[in-house]
Structure 1
Amino acid sequence: MNISVAGENSLMIYFGEETSPIVSARVQHAVHLLEQAFGSVLIDMVPSYASLLVIYDLFRTDIHTIRPQIREVLAGLDQVEVQDGALVELPVYYSLESGPDLQTLADRASLGVDDVIQLHQAQEYRVYAIGFAPGFAYLGQVDERIAAPRLATPRQKVPRGAVGIADRQTAIYPTASPGGWNLIGLCPQLMFDPNADPSMPVQVGDRVRFKGIDRQSFLELGGML
């Protein structure tokens, strides 16, 4: 574990150099431990795949005090084991109509379109982080046979519910926005609803499986083409 200065009132804690369930579990457990230890002294914490940004109140502590305290609180973190979160199944309408990059991905991998769809559904993914936009859950890891880099030129508008692949990550766009991920389908499930409780169907640490549905089912579930 490495703790470095990120700003005048913030620290970045690094838990590893690779994406893995155990590193993700340590990040999430660290959030819990620091919340308990410091309470309102912390203004915010922003977890990522293998790091945690900690923002603290300069009027109540300083770097010389809080950095060694954080080390002490997190001293036993290496003993943390992976705890499986909830298993969430999300429906996806996979097709050339809903997934404009499906054929390109298939050609790139020397596979058929149905093979790409099957490989995407076959994995059980872990929610490693939520960011970019509320409800944008970064899921990993995609089968390496269908992993693909982001588009060289991002689209100006990606529709809400678009299911994409970038490198070995996959995600669902919670709202219409610009984006450069490879699009392979559409999900009718709302990924962020500020009026719902909880506001998102998945949380960091949860497991996700995708289930293919047909066009009619997609529309009946509220999907839009």
Structure 2
Amino acid sequence: MRIRSAGASALLIECRDGERVEAWRAELWRRRESGQLSVVDIVPGARTVLLDGVAPGTAALIAEWPEPDVLQRQAQRLVEIPTTFDGEDLPDVAAHWGVTEAEAVRRLVETELQVAFGGFAPGFAYLRGLPEAWSVPRLAAPRPRVPAGAVGLAGPYAGIYPTASPGGWRLVGHTGQELFDVRAEPPALLTPGTRVRLVPA
């Protein structure tokens, strides 16, 4: 773990991998809620955690804390996403994995995912938890329009498009679940740390 300054009032914690990012995110959130950390926002990324609006001396404070245990899983809410597995790239994903389409769907249904971080569009969550061997390449050329609710895979991540947009992920299905609502608190259904399961619709 390495702590770097990022502007006048932000810090960037650089981590070795996604599991350590999640461990630090959970620990920082816990310490903020308990009053041990003064920070405006905590934003996880693929290999970093950004702390925005920190007080002077925060870097030295964090440096004194023990490294959080990546194996210690705090209770996080579970969100089940009803999914119809009819994506046009499902045959290609199954072929890439060397299994039947039915087996590919079984793998996705039986794998618990977790929101690593958000990005790309409001409400879009990068879901980690797929084994490294299941990583699939993005499309060579992105589609000009992917419909809202499309469930896709790219690299080591799964994701669900909250709105229609261009995209190059491999589509394996779709859901009618609303993922982003500006009237809700928080607006995004899938926030960092949330456990996610794709369940057959």
TM range (shorter): 0.7 to 0.9
Instruction: Sort the Cα spacing of 1:4 and 1:45 in 2 relative to 1 into closer, same or farther, 3 A.
Output: same
Where does 1:2-151 land on structure 2 (aligned, <5 Å)? 2-14=2-14, 16-20=15-19, 23-34=21-32, 36-37=35-36, 39=38, 42-56=39-53, 65-72=57-64, 75-78=65-68, 81-95=72-86, 99-144=87-132, 146-151=134-139
| Maintained 8 Å contact 1:124/1:207 | yes
Distance change (3 Å), C-alpha of 1:32 and 1:92 = same
TM-score (norm 1): 0.77
* Aligned pair partner of 2:142 in 154, 164, 175: 154
1:149-203 deviations in Å (ceiling 9; x for gaps):
2222122221110101011210111111121111111011001111234433333
* Structure 1 spans left out of the alignment, 5+ residues: 214-225
Partner residue, 1:171: 159
8 Å CA contact retained: 2:144, 2:166? yes
Structure 2 contact 81–175 (Cα < 8 Å) conserved: yes
Query: Counting helix residues as a fraction of each chain, which structure ranks higher?
Result: 1
Q: Distance in 2 between matches of 1:174 and 1:5?
A: 33
Pick closer, same or farther for the CA change 1:145–1:51 going to 2, 3 Å. closer
**SS class of match (1:7):** coil
Max Rg structure: 1
State the secondary structure of the residue aligned to 1:151.
coil
Give the stretch that moved more between structures: 29-38 or 173-182. 29-38
3-state SS of paired residue (2:191): coil
CA contact (8 A) 2:12 2:51 kept: yes
Q: Give aligned-pair identity as a percent.
A: 36
TM normalised by structure 2 equals 0.85
> What secondary structure is seen at the aligned counterpart in 1 of 2:103?
helix
**2: distance between equivalents of 1:139 and 1:31?**
19
Q: Which runs of 5+ in 2 are unaligned?
A: none
Paired residue secondary structure (2:109): helix
Query: Structure 2 vs 1, CA of residues 44 and 207 (structure 1 numbering), >3 Å: closer, same or farther?
Result: closer
- Identify the residue that residue 179 of structure 2 maps to in structure 1: 191
CA distance in 2, matches of 1:78, 1:108: 36
- Quote the offset at 1:145 in angstroms: 5.1
Q: 1:9·1:55 contact (CA, 8 Å) conserved in 2?
A: yes
1:5–1:174 distance in 2 versus 1, CA, 3 Å: same
Equivalence for 1:221: none
Instruction: Tell me the distance in 1 between the aligned counterparts of 2:66 and 2:2.
Output: 14
